[in-house]
Amino acid sequence: MPHSKRKTRWYRGSRYHGWGQIGQHRKSGARGGFGKAGMKKHKWFYVLKYEPDHFGKHGFVSHRPRKKAMNISDLERFISQGVKEINLDEMGIDKLLAKGKITVPVKVIVKEASEKAIEKIKAAGGEVVLLSEAE
C-alpha cells in the first residue's frame, strides 16, 4: 500500500535511489547480460540444471524438398464419396504408392506412381494418368 513512510516515496525525485551515480542497479549488467549471455561463464550452473543440451549440435535438417506421397488405401475416402476421377496433383500429392487394396475402378491423375500402384488400379478396372507422360 503506498504511504508516505515507504522508502520508494521518499526516493521520488532522487535519480539513483541510493545506488550511486555510476550505473549501479541500472542497465543489463545488473542482471548478468541480455538473454542467454554468460551461459559459458557466470550462468553455467543454470545451464547444468535447466538446459543441459544448450551447447553442441543436435540432429539433422534436410533442406531437400520432400515428395508428398499417398497410398492406394487413402483413396478410399474419395471413392466412398462417389468420386470417379481423383486429381492428386491439385491436392499437392506428388506420388501414388501401392500400400492397400482397391476394388472400385477409378481414374487417378498424378505426377508419379509406383509400378505396383499402377498394376493394382488397372487390375481393379481403373487407370492412372501420369502428368509427365501427358505433357
Query: Which domains does the chain possess?
Result: 28-59 (no CATH), 69-134 (3.100.10.10)
Q: How far is CA 106 from CA 53, 55, 94, 95, 112, in A?
A: 51, 54, 18, 16, 16
pLDDT, residue 36, reads 94
Residue 132 has phi, psi (to 5 degrees) of -65, -35
Pairing of strands 69-71, 95-97: parallel
Name the residue among 93, 96, 99, 89 with its Cα closest to residue 66: 93
Question: Cα–Cα distance between 72 and 90 in angstroms, integer?
Answer: 17
CA 117 and chain centroid, separation: 30
pLDDT, residue 119, reads 95
Q: Structure pTM? A: 0.53
Helices assigned H by DSSP within the chain: 7-10, 44-50, 76-79, 115-123, 131-134
Q: What is the pLDDT tens value at each position of the chain, 135 positions in all?
A: 778 899 988 899 988 888 988 878 888 888 899 999 999 999 999 999 999 999 999 999 889 988 899 999 999 888 888 888 999 999 999 999 999 999 899 999 999 999 999 999 999 999 999 987 655
pLDDT, residue 133, reads 65
pLDDT, residue 40, reads 95
pLDDT, residue 117, reads 95
pLDDT, residue 132, reads 76
